[in-house]
Chains A and B, each alone.
Chain A
Amino acid sequence: DAKTTQPPSMDCAEGRAANLPCNHSTISGNEYVYWYRQIHSQGPQYIIHGLKNNETNEMASLIITEDRKSSTLILPHATLRDTAVYYCIVLTPYNTDKLIFGTGTRLQVFP
């Protein structure tokens, strides 16, 4: 699985958009980008995933660059409850059973 690089921490004002970047420059053509988050003292929670097209669901949007070497998770209107560690994970479709969590980005949403 490709390695990902994320900034260790970010701040965001409540109500503003939170844009969390992820670099995955060694991603292969059949590897997906998954995002999970872990709110303090809770288990990780799936957010969204994509291959090469931009994706949107009720939680977030995922923007993947054309060369697929980086992506951005967008929380359009961050709330205090979005304060968490966000993990960007790259997986092949044949090996999605063993997630490799890096250190992630600690997002702090402030009032």
Chain B
Amino acid sequence: NAGVMQNPRHLVRRRGQEARLRCSPMKGHSHVYWYRQLPEEGLKFMVYLQKENIIDESGMPKERFSAEFPKEGPSILRIQQVVRGDSAAYFCASSPRAGSAGELFFGEGSRLTVL
């Protein structure tokens, strides 16, 4: 049973470009969460999605960031017009049901570097 798969593992973008990060949850998991980790800091919650629905986006910056989890395919975190402050590790996690922090599995992360 494959774990949470994230790609790309490393992504380099220039200021003003777009970054797309993908997350395939574990088999049987329909709940996806995105977290961001700035250098030398703890992880910060960004958004929680179920298939085709955003449940909680209270941690998402108001502009340039969006997330989706379509009926088919991976969840995507999209960052438009990237700036240097967006450089971070972005982690995706999945769980089989809501309210199951003990069944939360994280991917290896996608590391975005903005030049």
Q: What residues make up the interface of A, taking CB atoms closer than 8 Å to B?
A: 32, 34, 38, 41-46, 49, 87, 89, 91, 93-104
Contacts and interface: CB of A to CB of B under 8 A. Distances in A.
A44 B99 contact: no
7 contacts: A41-B108, A42-B108, A43-B108, A89-B101, A97-B95, A99-B104, A103-B41
Interface of B: 4, 31, 33, 35, 41-45, 48, 55-56, 58-59, 91, 93, 95, 98-109
A98 B56 contact: yes
A109 to B, nearest CB: 21
Contacts, number: 66
A97 B91 contact: no
Given A41-B108, A97-B56, 9 more contacts: A43-B4, A43-B107, A97-B48, A97-B99, A98-B58, A99-B35, A99-B43, A99-B45, A103-B42
Which of A32, A38, A49 gathers the greatest number of chain B CB atoms within 10 Å? A38
Contacts of A97: 31, 33, 48, 55-56, 95, 98-99, 101
A44 B106 contact: yes
Contact of A34 (B99, B102, B106): B102
A87 to B, nearest CB: 7
B109 A99 contact: no
B56 A102 contact: no
A54 B83 CA distance: 46
